[in-house]
Amino acid sequence: MHQGVAVGPSASQVGEMLTQKRSPWLDRIGSLLTALLVSGLLLGWLRAISALNGFYLFALGGIGAALASLVFLFRRVRGQALGTAGVLTCSAGLVFVLAVGTSSGDGPPINDFTTDLDNPPAFAHARTLPANLGRDMSYPADFAPQQRECCASLAPQTFDAAPRKTLNTIATAAAAEPQWTVTAVNPETGTLEAVATSYIFGFQDDVVIRVAPQGTGSRVDIRSKSRDGKSDLGANAARIRGFQNQLSSQIR
């Protein structure tokens, strides 16, 4: 009587088994990275931690998730299902990439922008705020050539309206800005100061607007300075341009 011989799986079957096999370590890493990204966003939004710490958590989780996503997608091409962890990791990586890609821009490694490089508007009330005590609030001289190279279009605005009327319109427009808190308006010096706070992480930037007589009208200069980080990814320049557009439509 002929004795049957057991035949093992073929090479293609072995390959299929390997690609279909789950990778607990990759799932755990992906889940951890996703948790870091979400924690950074949530804790920053709740103001439970500092803006920088929230951003660091978000960036650490986002960079890691973006890299881990490549591994998940490679394994998916090889036939392995993404699973819940894979879907979450890829989603976290995509969120991070989109967030970086839609930021205001690269810009030079500076965090203080002004429309008057020769005589930048000076902060007065901002110096008395607790977060700024002991900080140098002057405009760094070495920032000027870098701003000229990247943002030559940042320039003063001139209006036919008298300075006092212009300042009143500016105060109304600044108070209507959803991310701004007006902290001081000084008609004697023709200045307005405000704090701009980002939605997600709560980064705060100080803003000062100066109105000066020019002929029978007025000249308006704006300065926006970050409290954190060495580079603002173009946020301050974008803020100045955005507010200038507002003024152009409201002041004649």
Q: Give 9's pLDDT tier (boundaries 50, 70, 90).
A: low
Rounded average pLDDT over 22-40: 92
Q: Give 23's pLDDT tier (boundaries 50, 70, 90).
A: confident
pLDDT at 220 over 90: yes
Q: Give 51's pLDDT tier (boundaries 50, 70, 90).
A: very high
Q: Which residue has the tokens 């203080």?
A: 112
% the chain with pLDDT above 90: 76
Name which of 125, 116, 120, 123 is nearest 137 in CA terms.
Answer: 123
Residues 65-100 pLDDT 10s: 999 999 999 988 888 888 999 999 999 999 999 988
Q: Which comes out higher in pLDDT, residue 80 or 118?
A: 118
pLDDT at 16 over 60: no
What are the residues whose beta carbons fall under 8 Å from the beta carbon of 208, sequence distance 6 or more? 121, 122, 123, 124, 126, 191, 192, 193, 194, 222, 223
pLDDT at 19 over 50: no
Q: Give 14's pLDDT tier (boundaries 50, 70, 90).
A: very low
Residue 105: what pLDDT?
59
Q: Give 250's pLDDT tier (boundaries 50, 70, 90).
A: confident
What are the residues whose beta carbons fall under 8 Å from the beta carbon of 134, sequence distance 6 or more? none
Q: Give 106's pLDDT tier (boundaries 50, 70, 90).
A: low
Residue 18: what pLDDT?
42
Residue 89: what pLDDT?
96
pLDDT at 101 over 70: yes
> What is the distance between the alpha carbons of residues 164 and 176, in angstroms, rounded to a whole number?
19
Q: Give 241's pLDDT tier (boundaries 50, 70, 90).
A: very high
Pair 113, 223: CB distance under 8 Å:
yes
Residue 65: what pLDDT?
96
pLDDT at 211 over 80: yes
Q: Give 157's pLDDT tier (boundaries 50, 70, 90).
A: very high
Residue 237: what pLDDT?
93
Average pLDDT over the chain reads: 90
